[in-house]
Amino acid sequence: MPGVEPTPLALLLLGRGTDPDSERGVDCPGDLPAASDPTLVERARTAKEALGDRVFVLGHHYQRDEVIQFADVTGDSFRLAQQAAARPEAEFIVFCGVHFMAESADILTGPDQAVLLPDLAAGCSMADMATFDQVEDCWEALTAAGVADVTVPVSYMNSSAAIKGFTGRHGGTICTSSNAERALEWAFTRGTKVLFMPDQHLGRNTAVRELGLSLDDCVVYDPRKPMGGLTPQQLQDATMILWKGHCSVHGRFTVDAVRDVRERVPGVNVLVHPECSYDVVGAADLVGSTEFIIRTLEAAEPGSAWAIGTELNLVRRLANEHPDKTVVFLEKTVCFCSTMNRIDLPHLVWTLESLVEGTVPNRIEVEPETARWARAALDQMLALP
């Protein structure tokens, strides 16, 4: 079957102790079953059956197959949060994804529901590129330049609860890769400028390719520099103020990779995620969210060839699900989301068995005031025309 053959992914170290490579430096849980335990699948199934309707397992598209097989629902981050909110009878929501996704689920679910993240070190490098203090400093810079009162914040779903809360307090909205165009259109009815966080590429691709703005209308705010590395005049002249953040996976795709795959695979259709750079999106044939990518492959003609620019777990799964099509990874090198891959079968088994034993591990709880304003921003997104 034509498809993707990834190189082996090294097993992540399991057990007690601080993980020096995680964005959050959190302590990993101990007493995890060994990854080599041949009974893991049966243990997960037994624990899940014992919990019954009390537990609801969510699996993001970028999760490993060993985890996805136990998900009650799969989807992108916002769809999963919505699904969690739609299951008020579930006492425990086990979110197989990353930290910001579990936060969003906690914001949208009831107070009697516990949202759990099997490994607290499963963060998101993009979300961590915009901290609350940095965004507050940015708003002060906009205020000093005299443009804060005409600027509407639009934050990508891939952001922390604190950033979502900031967005809600300042009258903004959240967006996904599916509705970013509608979110920007709404924002420009409320102000003349948009502060888009934290992914500069999604903001630029949407503003320029979908709304017709020019690249000159966009500036990049670098939180590591005074005033973001911009002058007051640049902030006054800009229409889109893009936060200097990016996805560590989608940022690896290049125009050279697009050229190379076109040479290697005759007639290939190049389909990429809008978190890719502006130049890569311009070199591709189609661009869209993970849900768009999945639907496009489902509707594609048998015998067609596709090079996909998104996380490798999803691409490999699409290749397996569509043996009548050639589905290849856009890059030659393996490109997993390392933090998403922290959620593995041992962590899931540990979480489920802990619940069976009466322990609630790794609960994600958003501070009430932050949750209130973050919910306002999420509700604004749901109300987009």
Indicate the number of domains in the chain.
3
Whole-number pLDDT of residue 35: 82
Half-sphere exposure of 351 (CA within 13 A, CB side): 27
What does the DSSP 8-state code read for residue 18?
A: B
| 64 domain residue, yes or no | yes
| 275 domain residue, yes or no | yes
Q: What are phi and psi of 218, to 5 degrees?
A: -110, 135
| 381 domain residue, yes or no | no
Per the CB < 8 A criterion, the answer to whether 327 and 306 are in contact is yes
- Identify whether residues 135 and 241 lie together within a single domain: yes
- Identify whether residues 93 and 151 lie together within a single domain: no
Q: Helix, strand, coil % (nearest 5) of the chain?
A: 45, 15, 40
Per the CB < 8 A criterion, the answer to whether 305 and 269 are in contact is yes
Cα–Cα distance list, 302 to 227, 263, 298, 312, 327 (Å)? 52, 21, 10, 22, 11
Whole-number pLDDT of residue 367: 97
Q: How far apart are CA 157 and CA 153, in angstroms?
A: 13
Q: What are phi and psi of 241, to 5 degrees?
A: -105, 105
Q: How far apart are CA 139 and CA 146, in angstroms?
A: 10
Whole-number pLDDT of residue 32: 81
Q: Quote the tokens at residue 115.
A: 């949202």
- Identify whether residues 264 and 196 lie together within a single domain: no
- Identify whether residues 82 and 148 lie together within a single domain: no
| 345 domain residue, yes or no | yes
Question: Which positions of the chain have pLDDT values less than 50?
Answer: 1-28
Q: Environment class of residue 171 by beta-carbon count within 10 Å: exposed (0-12), middle (13-18) or buried (19+)?
A: middle
| 255 domain residue, yes or no | yes
| 375 domain residue, yes or no | no
Q: How far apart are CA 139 and CA 122, in angstroms?
A: 29
Q: What are phi and psi of 359, to 5 degrees?
A: -105, 140
- Identify whether residues 202 and 310 lie together within a single domain: no
| 197 domain residue, yes or no | yes
278: domain range?
250-329
Cα–Cα distance list, 1 to 173, 209, 293, 325 (Å)? 43, 35, 20, 9
Whole-number pLDDT of residue 33: 86
C-beta neighbour count of 300 within 10 angstroms: 17
Can you give the CATH number for the domain in which 49 is found? Answer: 3.40.50.10800
Whole-number pLDDT of residue 85: 87
- Identify whether residues 209 and 297 lie together within a single domain: no
Q: How far apart are CA 12 and CA 343, in angstroms?
A: 10
The pTM (predicted TM-score) of the whole model is 0.88
- Strand segments (E) across the chain: 55-60, 73-75, 92-96, 114-116, 151-156, 173-175, 193-197, 218-221, 240-243, 269-272, 286-287, 305-309, 326-329, 363-364
Whole-number pLDDT of residue 29: 52
Per the CB < 8 A criterion, the answer to whether 3 and 316 are in contact is yes
- Identify whether residues 158 and 117 lie together within a single domain: no
- Identify whether residues 163 and 224 lie together within a single domain: yes
Cis geometry, peptide bond prior to residue 6 (ω within 30 degrees of 0): no
| 12 domain residue, yes or no | no
- Identify whether residues 228 and 257 lie together within a single domain: no
- Identify whether residues 175 and 157 lie together within a single domain: yes
